[in-house]
Structure 1
Amino acid sequence: MKAGFIGAGKAGCSLGRYLRDLRLKESAAADENSGAGRTFELSGFYSKTFEHSKEAADDTKSAAFSNFEQVISESDIIFITTPDRVIGEVWETIRKKGEQGELPVKGRIFCHLSGSLSSEVFRGRKELGAFGCAVHPMQAISSRDTDFSGTFFTADGDAEAVAAVKELLSQKGNPVSVIEPSCKKKYHMAASTASNLVVGLIQMALDALEECGFSQDTALAMLTPLIEGNVKNICEKGTAAALTGPVERGDAETVKVHLQQLTGERREIYRLLSRQLMGVARVKNETRDYSNLETLLEEKDQ
């Protein structure tokens, strides 16, 4: 199996580097068995900027292609790792060329790594005899050498394409779960909530500490053990067991004082999230009375 990439940004380069190691291990295994078994290798990269193609190719010991047609011709599985907004455009160009007999798309697998788009972006693939899959790592990709070791992946699409992706990633030790295309947007919202929105909450806490006279650096140092400990407890025990604080205790008076320190949207954020936490608290403490806290949090203005 040969895999190529259209797009040489952070996502494509990171996955290419990750699968590069798989190629070496697979090839070695094949040699030991006198050529028996399937092998895997990277065919190469195409980017609109050839220098980017060359950098990615050099980094993964693969080829730098001058056009995307070469990627498709030289690959069994093609990862379209462009920005989300142009994945559909790239596929439409490929589809039209395939319809006109200008590209050998039959039997090939086309994948993208978008968290919000499903495999349905590959419209018309079945008529061409091609297969489509959306595969997404549940991890922030912050650089061109992001390591996917232990990362959870989700996939949706044609059975043949999903099976191929599972084959690659399972040999790297990555769990892969199938998701319905109709759930992709909600799935991406969940990932963004856990990864991105929490950053806004931490910044809100940092700003409050800065108003108390601490520098941002000092405030972050103060909060770090709290943040790390909470995340560790959530991951090991679940949200209910990890929850502590005034909402968990049903301490309406303390929550009221907290609300009085806030105005505008910050106050509303605190109020609404406290209501969300109250649901978690009730799971943890089934017999505890939260009626006073519930009444407090129903009121927008205190």
Structure 2
Amino acid sequence: MSETTFALIGPGRVGRSIAYRLVQDGYHLSAIISRSLSRAKEAATFVGATGCASCDLSAVTHADIVLLAVADDQIATVAEELAARKIIKTETLLVHFSGLHPAVILRPKGGLGRVASIHHLLSFAEPERAVVALSGTPCAIEGDAAALAEAETLVRAWGGEPFRLASEHKGLYHAAACVASNFQVTLAALARDLLAPCGLDAEAARALLLPIQQATSANLAQLPPESALTGPIVRGDFGTVQAHLHALTQTVPQALSLYRQLGLATVALAETSGRLPADAARRLRQELSTDAP
């Protein structure tokens, strides 16, 4: 069992999920800090470490590891306050969970401590699900060379799979994560809403679309995108794409622009797959690039 102590600043979905797994692995939770004491107490109960809730940043003073699970735009502010109060020791490990910001944001001018960032390729919609899903989840880590090995140990403690990422690549990495996760949800909502004019309410539409969404995810789990792609574009069904554009123009014109952009990207993918002939690709690309009169 580890004798390492850690403190958590920000007991939201990410913070409490990770804290739960670390406590289960034997790490000692010394403090959960939030601007709301009731929220900190709620998180402490979830984690199974009651009596450590606080609204005072100085509660992290004796922790070996300080985890900042706060919003991206709050990381620098909290780090600056920790530095101003001289709470952090040279040997303290500070970790944030932003997929975008580099770890060095945790060490403002005059700040101490070793710094690292850890980002999970996982959606934390519900902590109860996340504490299970953390097992096997890829986690990008970057930061001080002296902190990376300990960051990897942390990730493995909650069952994750760490991989190292250069700081200068975090922006592109995070964009990829958002496309894979957030935009998938946006597209699911768009597909649901396109069925409203067909007489289906939101819940019925969501239920009807779920099997094809699940089948597509299952295909992507086994195949590269080039092989998993199905549908009219990869088949070169020009008339079907024309019919889609006509229906959108008549009924949901606000969705046309996104359909066209996604269609063009799908044409490129279909060409790369080797299943869409060049002449069919040119014809589809022209149709998708031409605004309706």
| Category of TM-score, reference length = shorter chain | 0.7 to 0.9
Deviations 1:203-228 (A, max 9, x none): 22222222112222222222111110
Cα offset for 1:239? 0.8
> Hey, what does 2:64 align to over in structure 1?
76
> Hey, what does 1:301 align to over in structure 2?
292
Counterparts of 1:24-63 in structure 2, within 5 Å, are: 40-62=27-49, 63=52
> Hey, what does 2:95 align to over in structure 1?
111
> Hey, what does 2:188 align to over in structure 1?
202
* Aligned partner (choices 72, 76, 87) of residue 88 of structure 1: 76
The TM-score, its normalising length taken from structure 1, stands at: 0.85
Counterparts of 1:181-220 in structure 2, within 5 Å, are: 181-220=167-206
Q: Distance in 2 between matches of 1:104 and 1:216?
A: 50
The 8 Å contact of residues 79 and 108 in structure 2, kept in 1 or not, is answered as: no
> Hey, what does 1:26 align to over in structure 2?
none
Cα offset for 1:66? 4.8
> Hey, what does 2:214 align to over in structure 1?
228
Cα offset for 1:75? 0.9
- Cα separation, partners in 2 of 1:211 and 1:136, compared to 1, 3 Å: same
The 8 Å contact of residues 120 and 181 in structure 1, kept in 2 or not, is answered as: no
Deviations 1:261-281 (A, max 9, x none): 113431111111011011111
SS of the residue corresponding to residue 294 of structure 1 reads helix
* Aligned partner (choices 13, 18, 22) of residue 16 of structure 2: 13
Q: Which moved more, 1:46-55 or 1:84-93?
A: 46-55
RMSD of aligned Cα (Å): 2.0
The 8 Å contact of residues 115 and 184 in structure 1, kept in 2 or not, is answered as: yes
- Cα separation, partners in 2 of 1:293 and 1:136, compared to 1, 3 Å: same
Q: Distance in 1 between matches of 2:257 and 2:103?
A: 37
- Give structure 1 stretches of 5+ with no counterpart: 24-39
Cα offset for 1:135? 0.8
Cα offset for 1:257? 1.2
The TM-score, its normalising length taken from structure 2, stands at: 0.88
- Give structure 2 stretches of 5+ with no counterpart: none
> Hey, what does 2:148 align to over in structure 1?
162
Structure 1's consecutive aligned runs of 4 or more residues displaced over 3 angstroms after TM superposition are none
Letter of the aligned partner of 1:108 in structure 2?
A: T
